[in-house]
Amino acid sequence: MPDPTPMPTQTAEERPILEVERLVKHYPVTQGVLFKREVGRVKAVDGVDLELRRGETLGVVGESGCGKSTLARLLLAAEKPTAGSVRFEGRDIFALSRRDLRALRRRIQMVLQDPYSSLNPRMTVGDIVGEPFDIHPEVAPKGERRGRVKELLEVVGLDPDHVNRYPHQFSGGQRQRVGIARALALRPDVIVCDEPVSALDVSVQAQVMNLLSDLQNEFGLAYVFIAHDLAAVRHISDRVAVMYLGKVVEIGDEEQIYEHPTHPYTQALLSAVPVPDPDSRGWRDQITLEGEPPSPIDPPSGCRFRTRCWKAQDVCAEEEPALTERDGSAHPSACHFAAEVEDTVTT
Amino acid sequence: MEPTKDELTKNKAKNKAEDGAPLLEVEDLHVRFKVRGRNVHAVNGLSYTLAEGETVAILGESGSGKSVAAQAVMGILDTPPAEITRGAVRLRGEELLGLPERRRRTYRGDRISMIFQDALSALNPVFTVGDQICEMYEVHRGMRRKDAKAKAVELMERVRIPSARQRLGDYPHQFSGGMRQRIMIAMALALEPDVLIADEPTTALDVTVQAQIMRLLADLQDELRMGLVLITHDLGVVAGVADRIVVMYAGTVAEQAPARELYARPAHPYTVGLLASVPRLDRRSGPLVPIKGAPPNPAALPPGCPFQPRCPRAEAICSEERPPLIQVGTAGHRAACHFAEEVYGAGSDANADSDG
């Protein structure tokens, strides 16, 4: 792809395109109307380290409230972090000047969950997909835009002749394709997908996931694929990070996480997902967790999962387990007692 | 449970009287909506039966008519704009459609009850959960407040809400999503209904909480021997709990079969397509084979078979003639496809080459 980039390109091939280091985002909780007092902080993201390599898909899974969407917003520099850094090709995105940040935004794009509310109903599909060119006119000169938009629609499998239609004239799956075309317009290197298929019907989800895979092969895109659907994440990801209450508890390649999980939370999560096969297992022979995730305002001391964990001991309340390789785990797992169990996924 | 109203005893006596009839029987149900002068055919001939202690899953995507059909069975459809144009809903042989509203009302909650996807909007935000559960006993059973309260605590303990007695005075917003779902289940089960309709009961919940709720439902069903109609779009949830599955598409039954049979040997191209398009957790799946296109608009259904525009094996006849439900293989396995026999014959291999 011809892509004149104003960012300094890294010479070292090995360097990950995105590096997330000790990233923290706290939101203050205030009380009072006139004199706001801070009474607590929602620790949405609380010390996350991640890497994204060129052309790969990193899945991020976790339940609601685990901080995965806040992480997405931070990766796009849509929020300022409380602490920590995100480096894109070696440069901290939060230390960039306005101009450089604008240039950066060409290279990291986003696909949102809800194709109904993420497209302006009063703009035609052509205008929606072409809008990024208004902000970054250097990508496509005025005369070429119409042609580029039509090309993009074709790339995502829409009829280029529908360029003058409005979003309401499209189905949910088609709208998600419009959102993807818009994300592709500036030829980014990274696309952050926040629950891109969860609002779609089952039969349409597969279409969109296949499209994402095809586009990755064609354009060498790297994805951060954030979802609560563990099966979808397995299907699309090269590596997977499991989040719980603002922290990554386990990270590894797709096989390590799904076939050899060592963190009790990952094991419970995988065991809770129903498998579309009546012979596979029933509801009775799973690890069922008690209760629900605690509030991120006041997370438990030590290991945050200990309040729901069947392996918890005194040390878990005192000492926070680091996300590293351990005796029981060949890949990083944040559990003092990390170990594989037999057959988490199948009975 | 001591029945305090003689109406209840009458009902139970009636149950005995018509013992031969199935617990719940839905026959050829048609529901139509009038929207701005246009007719939208939401349900076009749904039939199924439900036995005691049995779980029947109604599987379908959005717009398939699964929720509308459930509301028609429950008798909570707004009419107008909806209109039940044809069909029958029988509870132990007694026809429910066309009953006067006053009488129908005594059935709701008592004989058939329902839980919904979104517990927060199904519960009344300005009354405590205790009030809302007690109301069931006061209205239907004529209990005094004090007794009703004791019952409510018992019920909340049964759905495993911790420190039930203290939480009786809390409002719905003070509970987490999973706990609210438990409260709704408690209310639905308060009067020990014969039939429970669960409309996407876990769709809004996280997987670990979903597992808790599904297990709770299964335990309570065993305990109370009730029939469960589970409405969902999730092929995984269905596989874990259903005895029989009815696959709905565009308001009609595409296929119905015992659960195992449906997954092993689907006989309708739509079912085949659904199974091929979901990624699997338990193995690294190859490329997904999606169903092309999108579900049809119920206001403008295609002629003939409603699945025909998306179907990989559609032929001329499919756009001319609506296929009837025909039996394939074992008893109880029926599919509405002109080529059901062939699809069924292709067996589970069909998953792989449905696109061909």
* Residues 291 through 310 of chain B touching chain A, CB cutoff 8 Å: 291-292, 294-295, 310
Give the span between the Cα atoms of B110 and B143, in whole angstroms. 14
A284 CA to chain B: closest CA distance, Å?
A: 7
B92 — alpha (psi -120 to 50), left (phi > 0) or beta?
A: left
A113 — alpha (psi -120 to 50), left (phi > 0) or beta?
A: alpha
Backbone angles phi, psi at A120, to 5 degrees: -65, 120
A202, A281, A293 member nearest B61 (Cβ): A202
The C-alpha angle with vertex B45 and arms to B41 and B50, in degrees rounded to 5, equals 130
Give the span between the Cα atoms of A61 and A65, in whole angstroms. 11
Residue A181 lies in a domain: no
- Higher pLDDT: B100 or B20? It is B100
* Residues 63 through 102 of chain A touching chain B, CB cutoff 8 Å: 63-64
Mean pLDDT of chain B, nearest integer: 84
**pLDDT at residue A344 in the model:** 52
Residue A192 lies in a domain: no
Cα separation values, B333 from A173, B177, B231, B272, Å:
31, 37, 19, 14
Backbone angles phi, psi at B350, to 5 degrees: -55, -30
* Residues 66 through 125 of chain B touching chain A, CB cutoff 8 Å: none
Instruction: Tell me the angle at which helices A202-219 and A172-184 cross, rounded to the nearest 10 degrees.
Output: 20
Interface residue of A277, A284, A297, A307 to substitute, partner B, most B CBs within 10 Å: A277
Give the span between the Cα atoms of B307 and B17, in whole angstroms. 42
Chain B residues closer than 8 Å to A288 by CB: 208, 211-212, 215
Provide the pLDDT confidence category of residue B163 given band limits of 50, 70 and 90.
confident
Give the span between the Cα atoms of B304 and B321, in whole angstroms. 4
A295 to chain B: nearest residue by CA?
B176
Cβ neighbours around B337 below 10 Å, total: 29
Q: Is B343 exposed, middle or buried (0-12, 13-18, 19+ CB in 10 A)?
A: buried
Cα separation values, A235 from A59, A112, A155, A206, B115, Å:
10, 19, 22, 10, 32
A77 CA to chain B: closest CA distance, Å?
A: 28
Matching residue, tokens 């349900």 = B43
State percent of chain B over pLDDT 70. 92
Any idea where the domains of chain B sit in the sequence? 6-242, 246-353
Given a cut of 70, whether residue B8 has pLDDT beyond it is no
Given a cut of 70, whether residue B72 has pLDDT beyond it is yes
Select from 3.10.110.10, 3.30.420.40, 3.20.20.10, 3.40.50.300 the CATH code of B6-242.
3.40.50.300
* Residues 114 through 173 of chain B touching chain A, CB cutoff 8 Å: none
Give mean pLDDT, residues A276-287: 64
Cβ–Cβ gap A277/B279 under 8 Å: no
Given a cut of 50, whether residue B356 has pLDDT beyond it is no
Chain B residues closer than 8 Å to A231 by CB: 236, 278-281
Provide the pLDDT confidence category of residue A135 given band limits of 50, 70 and 90.
confident
What is the bridge-based pairing of β-strands B244-249 and B55-59?
parallel
Give the span between the Cα atoms of B185 and B85, in whole angstroms. 31
Residue A103 lies in a domain: no
**pLDDT at residue B186 in the model:** 87
Chain B residues closer than 8 Å to A269 by CB: 207-208
**Span A155-211, pLDDT tens digits:** 898 888 899 999 988 888 889 999 999 999 999 999 999 988 888 888 888 888 999
Given a cut of 80, whether residue A280 has pLDDT beyond it is no
Positions of E strands within B189-243: 195-199, 227-232
B212, B238, B284 member nearest A234 (Cβ): B284
Backbone angles phi, psi at A194, to 5 degrees: -100, 105
Give mean pLDDT, residues B222-240: 89
Given a cut of 50, whether residue B254 has pLDDT beyond it is yes
Inform me whether the C-beta atom of residue B42 falls under 8 Å from chain A C-beta atoms: no
How distant is the alpha carbon of residue A60 from its chain centre? 5
Cβ neighbours around B95 below 10 Å, total: 12
Q: What is the DSSP string of B286-341?
A: -S--PPSS-PPPTTSPPSSSTTGGG-TT--GGGGTSPPP-EE-SSTT-EE--TTHH
Rg (CA), chain B: 21
Give mean pLDDT, residues A56-60: 95
Given a cut of 50, whether residue B134 has pLDDT beyond it is yes
Q: Which residues contact B276 (CB under 8 A, 6 or more apart)?
A: A206, B288, B289, B351, B352, B354
Given a cut of 50, whether residue A10 has pLDDT beyond it is no
**Span B272-319, pLDDT tens digits:** 999 888 888 877 777 888 888 888 888 888 888 999 999 998 888 898
ipTM: 0.79
**Span A60-94, pLDDT tens digits:** 998 888 888 899 999 999 899 999 999 999 999 99
Chain B residues closer than 8 Å to A276 by CB: 235-236, 238-239, 263, 275, 278, 280
A205, A254, A277 member nearest B239 (Cβ): A277
Tell me if A142 sits within 8 A of A130, measured CB to CB. Answer: no
Across-strand partners of A235? none
B234, B263, B295 member nearest A274 (Cβ): B234
A268 to chain B: nearest residue by CA?
B208
Give mean pLDDT, residues A5-33: 76
Give the span between the Cα atoms of B349 and A54, in whole angstroms. 37
Domain of A269, in residue numbers: 263-347
Give mean pLDDT, residues A47-62: 93
Give the span between the Cα atoms of B150 and B117, in whole angstroms. 28
Q: What is the DSSP string of A86-118?
A: EEETTEEGGG--HHHHHHHHHHEEEE-S-TTTS
Given a cut of 70, whether residue B7 has pLDDT beyond it is no
Interface residue of A64, A168, A170, A201 to substitute, partner B, most B CBs within 10 Å: A201
Residue A287 lies in a domain: yes
Tell me if B3 sits within 8 A of B9, measured CB to CB. Answer: yes
The C-alpha angle with vertex B130 and arms to B143 and B6, in degrees rounded to 5, equals 20
Q: What is the DSSP string of B39-102?
A: EEEEEEEEEEEE-TT-EEEEE--TTSSHHHHHHHHHT---TTTEEEEEEEEEETTEE-TT--HH
Chain A residues closer than 8 Å to B214 by CB: 274, 283
Tell me if B334 sits within 8 A of B328, measured CB to CB. Answer: yes
In single-letter form, the type of residue at position B342 comes to: E
Given a cut of 90, whether residue B188 has pLDDT beyond it is no
Residue A338 lies in a domain: yes
pTM attached to this predicted model: 0.83
Positions of E strands within B64-199: 82-91, 94-95, 112-115, 195-199
Q: What is the DSSP letter of B348?
A: G
**pLDDT at residue A281 in the model:** 54
Q: Is the Cα torsion angle A143, A147, A149, A152 positive or negative in sign?
A: negative
Give the span between the Cα atoms of B285 and B279, in whole angstroms. 6
**Span A308-340, pLDDT tens digits:** 998 899 999 999 999 999 988 899 999 999 988
Provide the pLDDT confidence category of residue B219 given band limits of 50, 70 and 90.
confident
Cβ–Cβ gap B294/A279 under 8 Å: no
In single-letter form, the type of residue at position A192 comes to: V
Cβ–Cβ gap B236/A292 under 8 Å: no
Whether the link from the prior residue into B258 is cis, omega within 30° of 0, is: no
Please tell me the least confidently modeled range out of A2-11, A252-261, B90-99, B150-159: A2-11
State how many domains chain A has: 1
Cβ–Cβ gap A284/B241 under 8 Å: no
The C-alpha angle with vertex B228 and arms to B227 and B231, in degrees rounded to 5, equals 155
A132 — alpha (psi -120 to 50), left (phi > 0) or beta?
A: alpha
Give the span between the Cα atoms of B206 and B181, in whole angstroms. 12
Cβ neighbours around A334 below 10 Å, total: 25
A235, A258, A274 member nearest B288 (Cβ): A235
**pLDDT at residue B354 in the model:** 39
Positions of E strands within B134-251: 195-199, 227-232, 244-249
What is the bridge-based pairing of β-strands B227-232 and B195-199?
parallel
**pLDDT at residue B19 in the model:** 60
Backbone angles phi, psi at A96, to 5 degrees: -75, 150
Backbone angles phi, psi at B265, to 5 degrees: -140, 75
A203, A234, A235 member nearest B273 (Cβ): A203
**Span A99-119, pLDDT tens digits:** 999 889 899 999 988 777 888
B297 to chain A: nearest residue by CA?
A171
Question: Which residue, among A224, A111, A221, A124, has the nearest Cα to A177 in the 3D structure?
Answer: A111
Inform me whether the C-beta atom of residue B239 falls under 8 Å from chain A C-beta atoms: yes
Given a cut of 50, whether residue B10 has pLDDT beyond it is no
Q: Is B322 exposed, middle or buried (0-12, 13-18, 19+ CB in 10 A)?
A: middle
What is the bridge-based pairing of β-strands A329-333 and A324-326?
antiparallel
Backbone angles phi, psi at B240, to 5 degrees: -75, -25
Please tell me the least confidently modeled range out of A316-325, B199-208, B227-236: B199-208
Give the span between the Cα atoms of B13 and B138, in whole angstroms. 22
